[in-house]
Each structure stands twice: as structure tokens, then as C-alpha cells.
Copies of this chain bind each other. A is one copy, B any other.
Amino acid sequence: VRDARCAIMNTKLAPIDTSPALMRIAALAPLSSEELRALDGAAATARTVPSHREITQEGAPNVRPTILLAGWVYRVRFFSDGRRQILGFALPGDVIGVAHQQRALANNTIVTLTPSSLCQAPDPGIDPDRSGLREAYAVNAAVEQLLSYRHIARLGRFGAYERIVDWLLEIHERLAAAGLAHNGTFAFPATQEVVGDALGLTSVHVNRTLQLMRREGLLNISGGVARLLDLPRMASVVRYSPLQVTADPE
């Protein structure tokens, strides 16, 4: 897993306990050492998928629950005239393909944006020793739903400038939870066309807006790396509030 990540994301080799995906999952809920071992074991069976490959297809039978260990993947919906809308991204540590019903169909197409590493998500079953895992998956699902709602609000009421700021802050927060962002800087594999497809804009307009932000000293995206240079100002533009789905304990 670590090797895969290093090859794929071009990051420096890190100690085992900082594996981004596991760090993010462990942040969702307290996990027992047995559960951490189960995750490690699953990660050992990871498969690598090249970029631009479909993992699921909308309307086809759902895949089994899967953990994204490394890479970026996106959910997408295609239109008959060739347009497409990216519904959201899964980042390292995200769990995809979870369904609780019989004969579930995938409700969206999932495609790898970068070469990615995937493994089957350990099944907590009804094992009382794995309640932490169940909780982590539940929190993951709640975050996923919250992200959808935020994306709807972003597309419905934000202009291009706000959309990009808000979305970058969200990506940054999520990557930071996996230890993949430092000081506002993170690997950013999306082209301007992909950003446009995610935010309901044309790549041309994304380009002009990013240039404006660059001139303002707000951020800088180049060479596959995003640098958010003024997080406080970005946050104030859209009144950004961190993702939260669970109440803090007293």
C-alpha cells in the first residue's frame, strides 16, 4: 500500500501509521486494534486501477463496499448530448459502494481520475468487536450526504468565484484529515476541465477565475500542486464552516 501510494501520488515515503487512508478512517471513529488490523489486512490485498477507468457504472449492480486507499476518483453523471456533471470526489480513506438494500444498483458512475489503489472494506457484520468499524462507515456515509448537500448549495447559489473557493476549501479539509495537505498545499490532479465539470462551469471560465485568484494572491494551482495561500481570506469569502456530522462529546 505504502509503495503504491508513493509511486502514485509522488509523496515521500512515510511511516506506516500515517498511511493517509487509514488515518482518515481512524479519524471517523475510535477503532480497536483488532479493527485496525482488519483494515491493514484488507489494504494488503489492494488492487491498482489506472486512471480514467470506470469502477462502477450507473444502473449496473452495485459493487461491494470498497475503500479508496490512494488516488482520486469521481462520481459522474453523463448527458445524452455529451455533457457531463461530476457529482463529487472520493479521496483516500473514503468508502464507496456501500448499500444496505437487496439487489442494489449503483446510483452513479465512478471513475478514477488518477491511478488509484482500492481494497475491499472489512465487513463489520454483527460482530460486537467491530462496532467501531460500523460507526466509521456510518459517519463516512453521513459525510458523503453532507458533501452532496453542500455541493447542491454551491451550484445553486454561488457564482463561479465562490464555487471554486468553497470547493477548494472542502477538498483541502478532506485531504488534511488524511494527512495529505500541509499548510494549504496539496497534490491536485484535476485539470481545469475536470474542475469545470464538477462546478458546473466551462474550463475557460475556470481558467479566467483561477487567474484572477492568482493575481489576488489568494491561491496558486500549477504543476499538479494547489497552494491555498490565504486560507482565512478564502474562508471569509464563502463563510466556510468545517464539515461536521457528529456532536462533540461533552
List chain A positions with a Cβ less than 8 A from chain B: 29, 59, 61, 75, 77, 79-80, 83-88, 99-105, 107-108, 134-135, 138-139, 141-142, 145-146, 148-153, 155-157, 197-200, 239, 244-247, 249
What is the copy number of this chain in the assembly? 2
Whether A155 contacts B246 by the Cβ 8 Å rule is no
Whether B87 contacts A142 by the Cβ 8 Å rule is no
Q: Given A100-B141, A138-B101, does the pair A149, B107 have CB atoms closer than 8 Å? A: yes
Q: Which interface residue of A61, A101, A134, A200 has the most chain B CB atoms within 10 A?
A: A101
Whether B246 contacts A85 by the Cβ 8 Å rule is no
Whether A156 contacts B75 by the Cβ 8 Å rule is no
Q: Given A148-B145, A149-B107, does the pair A101, B245 have CB atoms closer than 8 Å? A: yes
A209 to chain B, nearest CB (A): 16
Residues of chain B within 8 A of A79, CB atoms compared: 153, 157, 239
DSSP majority for the A interface?
mixed
Whether B148 contacts A80 by the Cβ 8 Å rule is no
Residues of chain B within 8 A of A244, CB atoms compared: 59, 105
Residues of chain B within 8 A of A246, CB atoms compared: 101-105
Residues of chain B within 8 A of A197, CB atoms compared: 156
Residues of chain B within 8 A of A59, CB atoms compared: 244
The listed residue (B86, B102, B155, B247) touching A61 by CB distance below 8 A is: B247
Whether A85 contacts B152 by the Cβ 8 Å rule is yes
The listed residue (B141, B146, B148) touching A149 by CB distance below 8 A is: B148
Q: What are 6 A-to-B residue pairs whose CB atoms are below 8 Å? A: A79-B153, A85-B153, A100-B142, A107-B146, A148-B148, A156-B199
Q: Given A101-B138, A200-B157, A245-B101, does the pair A152, B239 have CB atoms closer than 8 Å? A: no
Q: Given A138-B101, A141-B100, does the pair A87, B245 have CB atoms closer than 8 Å? A: no
State A200–B163 Cα separation when bound (angstroms). Answer: 13
Whether B135 contacts A101 by the Cβ 8 Å rule is yes
State A170–B149 Cα separation when bound (angstroms). Answer: 18
